[in-house]
A and B are shown apart, each in its own frame.
Chain A
Amino acid sequence: MSVTDLLQRSELFSGLAPEQIEQIAALGREVVYNAGAVVIREGDPSDEMYVISSGMVEVLVSRGTIPDVPGPPQLTPIVRLGQGQLCGEMALVDRGARSATVRCVEDGTVLHVIPRQAFWALCDGDHHIGYVVMRNIASDLSFKLRHRNLQARLAGGAS
């Protein structure tokens, strides 16, 4: 399956023609990670968004350091994301620091990396692509928020 075929299965590109998806695909590159590899680290500056082509990642947030206990903040998983899902899109939209850590949970996880600057240039140059992609990012963020709400309601926020 080609990169374009894989990306076509992501909601990010829903509503775009294959040639438009190819334009976006051409901006980025594919990177393969093994289980345990950290793709995004909370608090770091950001300039890329990721589409999961295959495999699975885990999103984790820090709960702060424990007083008098040395070491990094404890990381708590909040969701796992599989094929077709986005990660790193918040920083692409708001340009803030990374809000969470993203770590691969399966060997051979393939991510399509889209650089922010080139992506924004494409959206500025083609407002239809820009509108569709921004609508899809908003829809994806909304879906993730609904997932978190259900998680809190049904599982008591257990993670």
Chain B
Amino acid sequence: MIYKVSYVVVGKPHPGAIVNLDAPPRVGDRVQLSGELFEVTEVIDLIPPRGEFAYLHVTCRPVQETT
């Protein structure tokens, strides 16, 4: 299965991204979008799967750096 994922970023200005993944993202995962690190806060099925593709929406927020 190929997971076509729509990433929407909250908490900072960012255009989000659409990417294909080999495994489904999960809440709590950390994901890099072109070098920026985000934490997944929500994963939902956007539309029903078709063929080899599943379609997911992910909401994510910037990872707070700790010093």
Binding site for B on A (CB under 8 A): 9-11, 14-15, 56, 58-59, 77-85, 105-106, 139, 143-144, 146-147, 150-151, 154-155, 158-159
Contacts and interface: CB of A to CB of B under 8 A. Distances in A.
Contacts of B53: 11, 14
Given A106-B34, A147-B6, A84 B14 contact: no
Interface string B15-51: 1111110000000000001100000000000110011
Nearest to B11: A155
7 contacts: A56-B17, A56-B34, A143-B6, A147-B6, A150-B57, A151-B15, A155-B9
B4 to A, nearest CB: 6
Most chain A beta-carbon contacts within 10 A, residue among B10, B14, B15: B15
Interface in B50-67: 50-53, 55, 57, 59
B28 to A, nearest CB: 18
Interface of B: 2, 4, 6, 8-10, 12-20, 33-34, 46-47, 50-53, 55, 57, 59
Contacts of B52: 14
Contact of A80 (B4, B33, B55): B33
Contacts of B46: 143, 146
A158 B13 contact: yes
Contact of B8 (A10, A56, A106, A151): A151
A16 B8 CA distance: 30
B15 A78 contact: yes
Contacts of A159: 13-16
A79 B34 contact: no
